[in-house]
Chain A
Amino acid sequence: MNSFSGHITGIRTHDALALVTVRVDPHTFEAIVIDDPETSAYLRTNSPVQVQFKETEVIITTAKAPVVSLRNRIEGHISAIEKGRLLSRLTIQTAIGNLVSIISTDAAVELGLEKNSPVTAMVKLNEIILAP
């Protein structure tokens, strides 16, 4: 699991949902959770929180500013690539630290991914787990 330490910078609630922004310098993550500040003590502005997401949820693009709905985008370059028959595991060096992405090997080949390739890692906001 990818895990980064940050602190909460904003919370927007509606019904039982909360859209939380978390600063992991120099990036800002967005996560949507079914918690609110009343049920979860950690949901407060400035509270420290871990941003977590599974390797298999990380989408990779080589485009500079792709027009897609994904809210979390972290730029970096590939520091290691392990190509399996079906799946490939990329270690991406970014400003917030290393993160790991598991994508299909066919996609890795089509995108021409190699060590040192610049890429943007993207994660949907509903895949982000927040943990105090």
Chain B
Amino acid sequence: MIDIRIRKNLQSAQGRMDLHLDMSLAAGQFVTLFGASGAGKTSTLRMLCGLMTPDAGHITTTQKTWFDHRRHINLPPQQRNIGYVSQDYALFPNMTVRKNLEFALDKKQSGTIVDELIDIVELGELQYRKPGMLSGGQQQRVALARALVRKPDLLLLDEPLSALDREMREKLQQYILDVHRKYQLTTLLISHDVGEIMKLSDRLYEIQDGRIVREGTPADIFGLGKSSARFRFTGEVTGVQKADIVYIVTLRIGHDQVKIIADPSEAADLQPGDKVAVASKAFNPVIRKI
């Protein structure tokens, strides 16, 4: 359990903003922060890491107090046991994959965790290569494995997959989910990708101008969650085509391309790139063994 109550007066390009957050992350939970840029998401991660000091409040874990304004406690980043992955892999270019991971080991720590992580993120064949020889997705797997070497109390993911193409993103999402479950991590993700959030998160906080405006499960927040339509997915519009008096909306849902008939009143505000929720009653789909 990580309890976060922080206030911080931030100076941004848009002017002053009073960041005021009150949230708790249950152990083992996968939580996402969602919101427009400038809403205070990255500042929140920086304060959790200890790279920025809140003006007031506290950050406490079950074992330790990381920050407490009243008690003048402010642990430096290295004492907080946080794993951090951003879209900038920040690997040591002159070290092999294995050495990058070993470098992150604590002095007292055995090296078996390195073998285990190399195995989980399937870097076995690449472990003696240097980062420059790897693709973006492979480098991000190394960065993810390295963040886990010390078995962090909190894993912070700052839009880690936004620089990767869709297929690689989906693969990495699965690795993230696998390690989150295997190591029973408490994970905090910043993401704008609705599909990614739906796939990974247990809980979602939407931040606007430094305040939490909504919180709940991704399904509740992105709509349709509480409806009785049980056959539901999120996808991205790839095309809207008029056909007679209706529209055919083409969607990408995971790896699949699907088509949906929409009334002109619904198709009017859809365009390629829009994230959408689709739903149908559980009574409609037909099922057949393949």
Contact = CB atoms under 8 A, between A and B. Distances in A.
Interface of A: 1, 31-35, 40, 42, 52, 54-56, 82-89, 100, 102, 126-132
A126 B283 contact: yes
Contacts, number: 58
A55 B263 contact: yes
B286 interface: no
A82 B95 CA distance: 68
B282 interface: yes
Contacts of A89: 245-246, 263-264
16 contacts: A1-B263, A1-B266, A32-B283, A34-B228, A42-B226, A55-B263, A89-B245, A89-B246, A89-B263, A89-B264, A102-B246, A102-B263, A126-B281, A127-B284, A129-B229, A130-B227
Contacts of B226: 40, 42, 131-132
A31 B228 contact: yes
Contact of A88 (B227, B230, B245): B245
Contacts of B245: 82-84, 87-89, 102
A102 B247 CA distance: 12
B104 interface: no
A99 to B, nearest CB: 11
A107 to B, nearest CB: 14
Contacts of A54: 263
B246 A129 contact: no
Nearest to B265: A100
The size class of the interface chain B forms with chain A is 10 to 19
Interface of B: 224, 226-230, 244-246, 261, 263-266, 279, 281-284
A132 B228 CA distance: 9
Nearest to B223: A131
A84 B242 CA distance: 12
Contacts of B281: 33, 126-129
A89 to B, nearest CB: 5
Contact of B261 (A56, A84, A131): A56
A131 B224 CA distance: 8
A124 to B, nearest CB: 9
A128 B229 CA distance: 9
A97 to B, nearest CB: 14
Contacts of A33: 228, 281
Given A56-B261, A126-B283, 18 more contacts: A32-B283, A33-B228, A34-B230, A40-B226, A52-B227, A56-B246, A82-B245, A83-B245, A89-B263, A100-B265, A102-B263, A126-B281, A128-B281, A129-B227, A129-B279, A131-B224, A131-B226, A132-B227
A126 B265 CA distance: 23
Nearest to B227: A131
Pairs A-B, 4 closest by C-beta atoms: A131-B227, A84-B245, A33-B228, A84-B244
Contacts of A128: 281
Contacts of A35: 228
Most buried by B among A34, A127, A129, A130: A129
A56 B284 CA distance: 13
Contacts of B264: 89
Contacts of B283: 32, 126-127
